[in-house]
Amino acid sequence: MPEDSNLLLSMYKTMVKVRQFESMAGEYFAAGDIPGFIHLSIGQEGSSVGICSALRDDDYVATTHRGHGHMIAKGADLNKMVAELFGKATGYCKGKGGSMHIADFSIGILGANGVVAGGLPIITGAGLSIKYRKTDQVAVVFFGDGASNRGPVHEAMNMCAIWNLPVLFVVENNQWASTTPQTYSCSVGDLCTRAAGYGIPGVAVDGNDVLAVREAALEAVARARAGEGPTFIENKTYRIRGHFEGDPQKYRKEAEVKAWQDEKDPINRYTKLLTQKKLLNKTKIQTIWDEVKAELDAALDFAKSSPFPKPEDALNDLFSNPY
Amino acid sequence: MSERKISASAALAEALHDEMSQDESIYILGEDLTAHAGIFGQFKGLPEAFPGRILDTPISEMCIVGCGVGSALTGMRPIVDLHFSDFVTCAMDELCNQAAKIRYMFGGQVKLPMVVWCPDGAGLRAAAQHSQSLESWFVHTPGVKVVVPSEPADVKGLIKSAIRDDDPVMFFQHKRLFAKEGPVPEDKDFIIPLGQAAVKREGSDVSLLTYGSGYYLCAQAAEELAKDGIEAEVVDLRTLKPLDMDTVAQSIKKTYRAVIVHEACVTGGFGAELAARIQSELFDYLDAPVGRVGTKDVPIPFSPPLEDFVLPSVADVIEAAKAVAYR
């Protein structure tokens, strides 16, 4: 367990940042300020922050349609993120991507992905590139229990295993693939057991325990950097919000959602732990939440005051070598 | 131009050798590459010359193309060998949702230099799943460039451009033409820019607009037509995206008649797009409707008489050319 109190507190702050970002996004989406669809990761902050706390800036991450948390935990710029959600010219993708297609190549974020499991073949390529270039970077892909049933996952696990690539497969088993329960759609309860079929170490982690996730990530990252190949981590967690904002959620009972909140909530659990360690108290907690809110408010101001792209900008950025 | 004649396969290997010698970030990945230097022997000499840079993969097309994408995004210049162009179907997400869109949807943050080398085409009695010409699918996908060379020199010059390009390029090379020989410059700097068609035979009566294997049909048809007093101009488009519409226009402004010839099936083929552009941009220069010659709209059948019947022939080109020329 890491004992560096600055690190522990900074992880806490990042979790709060993800939570507040997602709450803000839900609020502004409901108000009609954010077009399209958004998928929120509230309740899954233990996974995003725990994994990314073990990474360097030059490590790669490929994420999903539910990717805001991973982006923030990897160090993405809030101004550019909010602006992208709002469809503004100052957003990460100048308004061409939106919530499901944010990337920041300057800090190794190879992109969110609108295609379920779309990140796995790409991260395999990133892993191959690392090996080819002989650096000690690692490449991490996040995906969900729903994605775990798609073909590319299995191709990627096999390929990363045979080539011993420095890759972390992180499945966030949040129990629901859109409206379909994991217990129905997956042939096994513990998705990490599938790793054995590819000769990859697989581990199930309490995904709402951010330090347990970090520990698993540190171990996997160390293996990867040492040239010992891929690791499969299953973070067992829960999707508190609907699949998308506005999801009527007729497929599950409120009591089930409730059971994963409060005491099982990753931020509440971590707050309790850090309070016991005397790293947090009520005043400190308030200060951190206020600081994050101020940062987010500034990002909102930035986004709101930013211009929309010019319509004809839709024709730019297609090719690096245009004709 | 050099008079040295080599095969299309040799031209490909020579170009790859040149490019790989100059740029360490280029590597080739795909199925069954090292044992026989590619299943068609198309990479002859490369596994020995560049050990570790020709990677055999498992049969995993999604991940093969995904590897291309992920490595291109992180500093490499991959050449992905798809074994048979038909197998693009196994990797359409990676090609069309990922490779084609990544640069655009991320706001131009990144370049994606990747060549997807697709051996395509019929005539080898390989039947429905190993004989297709699928280039128009990718012409219809913004974000990728599409190259379909015909002669060996085109293969050499265009694959070099495709490799040096910073965008995803679909490179369709006809399987039946691998052994076909032609003059190919030895010059390492020989290159054909993408988007440059070639007038390979001049003529004043009808423009035969073609690419890939269609070029050879047109070249032969033009000789036959000449015997009947019809001088056909053969325009090899070479790249479909970018398309050299200027050369097409210059030719039609001379002949006032055009027939488009390709091996892909007619309906929804590239000829449909080109005919539409010709009628909208060159209507006043047309003395006849634009003709189209392609494969009949069925999957490629196995039995020789069946396959020969559905594929476009020299006679089909002659008939189509005469239909517009005598109008």
pLDDT digits (tens, 9 = 90+) for B58-76: 999 999 999 999 999 999 9
Instruction: Give B-chain residues touching A121 at CB under 8 angstroms.
Output: 62-63, 65-67, 69-70, 94, 98
- Give percent of chain B with pLDDT exceeding 90: 98
pLDDT score of B3 = 79
Q: What is the mean pLDDT of residues A294-307?
A: 98
Residue B327: pLDDT band with limits 50, 70, 90: confident
Task: Answer whether the bond into residue B242 is a cis peptide, omega within 30°.
Answer: yes
A158/B60 Cβ within 8 A: yes
Q: Which two tokens stand for residue A205?
A: 């982690």
Q: Is B24 on the interface with A (CB under 8 A)?
A: no
Distance from the A115 Cα atom to the nearest Cα atom in chain B, whole angstroms = 8
ipTM over 0.90: yes
What average pLDDT does the structure give for chain B? Answer: 97
Residue A1: pLDDT band with limits 50, 70, 90: very low
**Rg for chain B (alpha carbons), in Å?**
19
Q: What is the mean pLDDT of residues B213-226?
A: 98
Interface of B with A in 207-266 (CB under 8 A): 242
How buried is B326 (Cβ within 10 angstroms: 0-12 exposed, 13-18 middle, 19+ buried)? exposed
Q: Could you tell me which chain A residue has the CA closest to the CA of B241?
A: A323
Interface of B with A in 68-127 (CB under 8 A): 68-76, 78, 93-94, 97-98, 102-113
Q: What is the mean pLDDT of residues B47-66?
A: 97
B167/A321 Cβ within 8 A: yes
Q: Could you tell me which chain A residue has the CA closest to the CA of B143?
A: A318
Least confident of A2-16, A76-90, B122-136: A2-16
Query: Among all residues of B, which ones are annotated catalytic?
Result: 61, 130
Q: What is the mean pLDDT of residues B235-257?
A: 98
Q: What is the mean pLDDT of residues A262-284?
A: 97
**pLDDT tens across B87-115, in order?**
999 999 999 999 999 999 999 999 999 99
Asked if the model's pLDDT at residue B2 lies above 80, the reply is no
How buried is A187 (Cβ within 10 angstroms: 0-12 exposed, 13-18 middle, 19+ buried)? exposed
**Tokens 């006032």 found at:** B256
Helix A210-225 vs helix A5-30: crossing angle, to nearest 10: 110
Asked if the model's pLDDT at residue A3 lies above 70, the reply is no
B97/A105 Cβ within 8 A: no
pLDDT score of A36 = 96
B106/A105 Cβ within 8 A: yes
What average pLDDT does the structure give for chain A? Answer: 97
pLDDT score of B26 = 98
A133/B66 Cβ within 8 A: no
What's the Cα-to-Cα distance from B189 to each of B17, B151, B163, B167, B197, rounded to whole Å?
13, 18, 13, 21, 19
pTM reported for the whole predicted model: 0.97
Asked if the model's pLDDT at residue B288 lies above 60, the reply is yes
Q: What is the mean pLDDT of residues B207-228?
A: 98
Asked if the model's pLDDT at residue A281 lies above 60, the reply is yes
Nearest-by-Cβ selection for B105 from A93, A130, A320? A93
Q: Could you tell me which chain B residue has the CA closest to the CA of A61?
A: B70
Asked if the model's pLDDT at residue A148 lies above 60, the reply is yes
Distance from the B130 Cα atom to the nearest Cα atom in chain A, whole angstroms = 22
